[in-house]
């Protein structure tokens, strides 16, 4: 009896769904995000298949899911592999800016990635046939891989949701009908906050416009089942039941969103504190304060200019009471840091565990979204030194909360400035208090990102497409949307009325003038 009761509760509380998570091995942060999403669904009792074709070879060695066991790999074609090799970390952004003129080029690049991934899939139909047998209820993918849409058609999956591992990207948000005003919503690649000068607004508008013209997705794919048929992915994107974005309303710039946009920023920050290895424990005990410095796994510390390395090391030397833990990927450290006792170099650092440790005082980071989310949750004051891509935006986003200081990558060579910033972040209590407040907000959000994701995914798997959430505004033209047509008509009417009154008045004056003369 008890057993049956238990069973009914189990069945009524969650109907298990078959969910396909499509995430080619392309970027470490992308895979981390999707792996976490897959695990959350698995943990809730759903049957999750993670389909993760290889693009960048080195990520094949990582296991991005812990609970999800059904992971399907697919090798890259030689051409896709060659494209993948281009993605692997390069150091040129240490001393160079991403230029708007590169947008057409990067658009072509992303299109070639998606196109070639599409070709690889079409050459492996037996694998797809196997997947099709699982009869998925829902597909989850990221908009850089719109080749998931012909895949969805072939697998006869009725509904999909999009998940973005980045915080914000204007063209896909605009495609689903979200208002994206360049006056106060900084684009992914814009180095501004929500308070922009006239020039910054111009730059932001140009960036968004360029991204609208130079799309990251190919215009169409050929269907797998019928090579004569074309599939237009961007026309299908608005059919997404939900769009999950890695943006958190308590961290990101406030803006108007639509109900289809579910903000689950920070969902990949794991809250279960792993235990620090003994070696790290001892390092943290060496001095009063500890300072972690890492530029992530794409732009490497070893590729920074020599001048910057010398300057950073010199600044650190001024704080004998602080241990600096520097993620540094080479062993040539004696060239710029010889004899400096308080720097601990390491090719790899347990970043999350260190940030969670009470003995760690502050963090210097490139501002990758993963690190920004982590440091926000862990409540440590930070120095943001953005290098490229969305990091400029991420840095401004975090600095707005008063727990961080931003420093330009070009200022790293200025040892005195670096020293001043480190001193402020370590000894000015206001940064610590602000960082802690942000962390408290995130840990006590009214609805956790995990619940938001799970409930909405189950809803999408159950009810499939949700046309009720599709705003009509996305089909409007510019004139209609901004009511320029109405404004023009009103202007014309007002002008005509004014002219009419003017001439009427003139006529009245003339007549009354004549009458006065007559009298």
Ligand X SMILES: *[C@@H]1O[C@H](CO)[C@@H](O)[C@H](O)[C@H]1NC(C)=O
Chain residues in the site for ligand X (CB under 6 A)? 16, 18, 47, 400-402
**Of 318 and 402, which has the nearer Cβ to ligand X?**
402
Minimal distance in Å, beta carbon 14 to ligand X? 11
**Of 47 and 222, which has the nearer Cβ to ligand X?**
47
**Of 152 and 283, which has the nearer Cβ to ligand X?**
152
Token pair listed for 480: 């209609």
Reference 389, options 140, 124, 190; nearest CA is 190
Distances (CA, A) of 392 to 70, 185, 193, 399, 442: 37, 14, 9, 11, 22
Minimal distance in Å, beta carbon 378 to ligand X? 18
Contacts 24+ apart (CB under 8 A), 379-385: 379/403, 379/435, 379/436, 379/438, 379/439, 379/440, 380/355, 380/435, 381/425, 381/426, 381/431, 381/432, 381/434, 381/435, 382/425, 382/435, 383/407, 383/421, 383/422, 383/425, 385/295, 385/409, 385/412
Minimal distance in Å, beta carbon 449 to ligand X? 20
Rg (CA), the chain: 28
Minimal distance in Å, beta carbon 253 to ligand X? 11
**Of 49 and 170, which has the nearer Cβ to ligand X?**
49
- For 328-425, strand residue ranges (E) read 343-346, 360-365, 382-384, 404-406
**Of 60 and 424, which has the nearer Cβ to ligand X?**
424
Minimal distance in Å, beta carbon 16 to ligand X? 5
Contact assessment for residue 290 and residue 478, using Cβ atoms and an 8 Å cutoff: no
Minimal distance in Å, beta carbon 21 to ligand X? 15
Minimal distance in Å, beta carbon 133 to ligand X? 11
**Of 17 and 326, which has the nearer Cβ to ligand X?**
17
The Cα–Cα gap between 331 and 394 comes to 30
Task: Dihedral sign for Cα 170, 172, 178, 179, please.
Answer: positive
**Of 41 and 466, which has the nearer Cβ to ligand X?**
41
């Amino acid at each position: 009896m008890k057993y049956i009761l238990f069973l009914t509760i189990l069945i009524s509380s969650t109907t298990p769904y078959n969910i396909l998570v499509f995430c080619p091995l392309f970027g470490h942060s992308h895979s981390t995000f999707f792996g976490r999403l897959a695990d959350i669904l698995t943990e809730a009792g759903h049957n999750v298949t993670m389909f993760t074709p290889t693009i960048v070879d080195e990520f094949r060695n990582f296991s991005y899911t812990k609970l999800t066991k059904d992971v399907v790999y697919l090798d890259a074609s030689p051409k896709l592999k060659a494209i993948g090799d281009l993605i692997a970390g390069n150091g040129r952004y240490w001393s160079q800016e991403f230029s708007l003129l590169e947008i057409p080029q990067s658009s072509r690049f992303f299109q070639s990635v998606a196109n070639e991934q599409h070709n690889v899939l079409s050459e492996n139909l037996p694998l797809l046939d196997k997947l099709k047998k699982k009869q998925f209820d829902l597909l989850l993918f990221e908009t850089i891989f719109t080749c998931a849409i012909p895949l969805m058609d072939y697998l006869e999956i009725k509904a999909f949701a999009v998940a973005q591992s980045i915080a914000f990207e204007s063209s896909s948000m605009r495609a689903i009908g979200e208002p994206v005003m360049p006056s106060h919503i900084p684009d992914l690649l814009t180095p501004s906050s929500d308070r922009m000068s006239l020039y910054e607004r111009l730059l932001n508008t140009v960036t968004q416009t360029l991204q609208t013209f130079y799309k990251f997705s190919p215009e169409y794919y050929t269907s797998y089942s019928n090579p004569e048929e074309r599939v237009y992915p961007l026309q299908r994107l608005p059919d997404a039941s939900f769009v999950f974005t890695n943006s958190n309303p308590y961290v990101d710039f406030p803006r108007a969103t639509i109900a289809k946009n579910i903000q689950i920023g920070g969902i990949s920050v794991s809250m279960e504190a792993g235990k620090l290895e003994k070696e790290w424990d001892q390092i943290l005990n060496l001095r009063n304060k500890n300072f972690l410095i890492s530029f992530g796994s794409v732009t490497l510390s070893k590729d920074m200019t020599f001048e910057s390395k010398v300057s950073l090391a010199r600044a650190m030397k001024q704080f004998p009471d602080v241990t600096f833990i520097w993620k540094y990927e080479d062993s040539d450290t004696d060239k710029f840091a010889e004899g400096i006792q308080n720097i601990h170099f390491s090719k790899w650092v347990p970043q999350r565990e260190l940030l969670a440790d009470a003995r760690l005082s502050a963090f210097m980071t490139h501002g990758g979204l993963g690190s920004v989310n982590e440091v926000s949750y862990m409540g440590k004051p930070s120095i943001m030194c953005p290098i490229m891509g969305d990091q400029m935006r991420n840095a401004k986003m975090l600095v707005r909360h008063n727990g961080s200081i931003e420093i330009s990558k070009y200022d790293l060579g200025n040892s005195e400035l670096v020293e001043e910033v480190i001193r402020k972040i370590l000894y000015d209590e206001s940064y610590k208090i602000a960082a802690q407040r942000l962390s408290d907000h995130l840990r006590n959000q009214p609805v956790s990102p995990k619940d938001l994701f799970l409930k909405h995914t189950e809803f999408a798997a159950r009810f499939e497409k949700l046309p009720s959430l599709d705003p009509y505004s996305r089909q409007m033209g510019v004139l209609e949307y901004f009511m320029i047509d109405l404004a023009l008509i009103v202007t014309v009417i007002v002008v005509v009325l004014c002219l009419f009154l003017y001439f009427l008045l003139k006529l009245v004056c003339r007549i009354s003038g004549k009458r006065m003369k007559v009298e």
